[in-house]
Amino acid sequence: ETGIKNVADPFGGSHMMESLTDDLYSAALEVINEIEDMGGMTKFIESGMAKLRIEESATKKQGRIDSGREVIVGVNKFRLDEEDDLNILQIDNSAVREKQVRKLEQLKKNRNSDDVKAALARLREAASDTSGDPRNLMELSVEAARVRCTLGEISEALESVWGRHVPNNTVVQGAYASNFANTEKEEYEMTTQLVEIFLAEEGRRPRILVAKMGQDGHDRGAKVIASGFSDLGFDVDVGPLFSTPEEVARQAIDADVHVIGVSSQAAGHRALVPSLVEELARQDAKHILVVCGGVIPRQDYEELFDAGCAAIFGPGTRITDAAREVLRKIEMSRQ
Ligand code: B12
């Protein structure tokens, strides 16, 4: 109605817009130059710097939110006293898995296995080709898919030549703490003091394994929690993405942690959390607490508590609050 869409750049010449664009350009250029100085994007990813920069930025943002320096309405200001339950489509993950496995079995029975072997061999061969004239891997992957190779088999063929990228599971130091310089310093320090008291009494720091299970690749929340808890004085271990409950239990036992903090955003909690608790019991490690965080609907809380989960921290959780609550739960479990 205003005709704004008829003008190519309606804000062109506006000092405010031009200076914002300049700021964005300069900030982006700084990052691009850092990447170029390291030898390009592939090297930047390989070195772990790309992930580190993203996690640093996520942790700083969480620090700004938790300290109140950045307001998000509904998250750290003007929160509802009572959140309505959401109407959620419940999926039976075990049934889905079984159905997928049956479909795969059917597919493998009905395809021509000579064609499959040949297509995968061509892919492997092309992936290891070091001549200056490599074949187009996408084209070969499409050919493989046409003869019904699965996505797993196609990526496995490439992985058998190149290996798999394993990201560094480091925590960011200091990025969370740096936001609590003024206003919320007292509350921050109160939390670190509680951790120091725990250290004095127990002879070691509270130790948490932050775990991601199943097919859930959302690691921002997990990394932010790991970095925040570390700044607050916890010893923090970070498990790899896509772990099984067995692997998480084993890692927790090996690291002798007090608590496993499961971060779940992709709705696997109802199957994976009870499995983890069972696995801990099976491996004689009932003393290790399990707490959860992430996108977990309220109506699922009771089920997880019944399964043995000690506390749940949903979206909007302040890390300082969560750290004190986890500490309290560890202390309660030791009495
Ligand atoms: C960012 C995001 C992504 C990014 C993830 C990047 C990354 N590396 O993490 C990308 C774009 C890759 C992505 C992909 C997908 N996403 Co997504 N994503 C989100 C989004 C918008 C925000 C999540 C986030 O990072 N929040 C910020 C962090 C800091 O908050 P948080 O995780 O909630 O953590 C806080 C608390 O929960 C708590 N907490 C969390 N963990 C723990 C652990 C402990 C121990 C403690 C104490 C506390 C705690 O403390 C944290 C700080 O307050 C959410 C929606 C939302 N608003 O939550 C959807 C959401 C999680 N995604 C969703 C979906 C469906 C997907 C995809 C399947 C989409 C698709 N069809 O491809 C894929 C899945 C990929 C995969 N393999 O898992 C759905 C999941 C639905 C469900 N649960 O049933 C959501 C809820 C969106 C929606 N409403 O539909 N996603």
62 falls within a domain: no
Of all protein residues, whose CA lies closest to atom 51 belonging to ligand 1? Answer: 221
Do residues 149 and 182 share a domain? no
CA–CA gap between residue 32 and residue 24 (Å, rounded): 12
pLDDT score, position 183 = 63
pLDDT tens-digit profile of 225-258?
999 999 999 999 999 999 999 999 999 999 999 9
81 falls within a domain: no
pLDDT score, position 166 = 83
Substitution candidate for ligand 1 out of 234, 295, 304, 329 with most atoms within 8 A of CB:
295
pLDDT score, position 94 = 84
Of all protein residues, whose CA lies closest to atom 90 belonging to ligand 1? Answer: 266
132 DSSP 8-state letter: S
Do residues 288 and 222 share a domain? yes
Do residues 327 and 205 share a domain? yes
- Candidate from 6-20, 80-94, 246-260, 268-282 with smallest mean pLDDT: 80-94
52 falls within a domain: no
pLDDT tens-digit profile of 34-88?
999 999 999 999 899 999 999 999 999 999 999 989 999 998 999 888 888 888 8
| Residue-averaged pLDDT of the chain | 94
172 falls within a domain: no
8 falls within a domain: no
Do residues 323 and 194 share a domain? yes
Please tell me the total count of domains within the chain: 3
Of all protein residues, whose CA lies closest to atom 13 belonging to ligand 1? Answer: 218
pLDDT score, position 11 = 87
Do residues 108 and 247 share a domain? no
List, in sequence order, every residue forming a beta bridge with 331; answer none if it has no partner.
none
Atom of ligand 1 nearest to the CA of 218: 9
Q: What is the CATH number of the domain that holds 319?
A: 3.40.50.280
Atom of ligand 1 nearest to the CA of 267: 83
CA–CA gap between residue 266 and residue 210 (Å, rounded): 16
Q: Is 181 a residue whose pLDDT tops 80?
A: no
Q: Pick from 252, 242, 247, 251: which is nearest to 213 by CA?
A: 242
80 falls within a domain: no
Q: Pick from 280, 201, 194, 289: which is nearest to 234 by CA?
A: 194
Domain that holds residue 139: 94-162
Give the residues surrounding ligand 1 with Cβ less than 6 Å away.
62, 210, 215-222, 224-225, 261, 263, 265-267, 291, 293-295, 313-317, 322
pLDDT score, position 128 = 95
pLDDT tens-digit profile of 317-327?
999 999 999 99
195 DSSP 8-state letter: H
Q: Which residue is listed with tokens 């506006």? A: 14
- Given 137, 162, 187, the domain boundary residue is 162
Substitution candidate for ligand 1 out of 92, 172, 260, 265 with most atoms within 8 A of CB:
265
Contact 182, 69 (CB under 8 A): no
